Chain A
Amino acid sequence: MADRRDAAMAPDFELADTAGQLVRLSDYRGKQHVVLVFNRGFT
């Protein structure tokens, strides 16, 4: 991941979604605004 202090852009990351598909933040770059919500937990 890029360092958020040095990067002008939101740091990229890769995580699996609920269907098991890998999602990268950069997948949306140039296509769509992205709202990241950091949830503290629901269980």
Chain B
Amino acid sequence: MAQLRRDYEQFVARDAKVVVIGPEDPKAFRDYWQKENLPFVGLADPTHAVANHYGQEVSLLKLGRMPALMTMAMKRVKNILLKRYRSRNRTRIAAA
């Protein structure tokens, strides 16, 4: 999330709205957003309905969380409608 915050202005400069979907319940999500003063749109998906629909994994390792992989989908109105990529270390901006 810290990396995304650092890169946030680059998305804004490209007229992109950043929407983060997470598995926490709505209260935990809201509390975290307020505590961290995050600038993106945050959406709680506690049933994983949207994550599952987009084919996202939600399992955790026994000894801790899996690396903070982020999968992104960039939606455009016309040509590139759905684009995904993963990055272990950086949040990259998909070509639009």
- Given A16-B26, A18-B34: A36 and B66 interface contact (C-beta under 8 Å): no
Interface residue count for A (Cβ, 8 Å)? Answer: 30
Whole-angstrom distance between the alpha carbons of A38 and B22 in the complex? 6
How far apart sit A18 and B33, CA to CA, in the bound complex (Å)?
A: 7
- Please count the residue pairs between chain A and chain B whose beta carbons lie under 8 angstroms apart in the complex: 126
A-side contacts of B40, CB under 8 Å:
37
A15 engages B43 (CB within 8 Å)? yes
- The CA of A35 and the CA of B14, in the complex, are separated in Å by 11
Interface size on B, residues (CB 8 A): 54
Nearest-neighbour CB distance to chain B for A1, whole angstroms, equals: 5
B87 shortest CB reach to chain A, Å: 11
Contacts of A41 in B (CB 8 A): 22-24, 65
- Chain A 3-38 interface residues, beta-carbon cutoff 8 Å to B: 4, 8-11, 13, 15-20, 23, 25, 28-30, 32-38
Looking at the assembled complex, report how far the CB atom of A10 sits from the nearest CB atom of chain B, in whole angstroms: 4
Cα-based distance from A9 to B82 in the complex (angstroms): 6
A30 nearest in chain B by CB position: B77
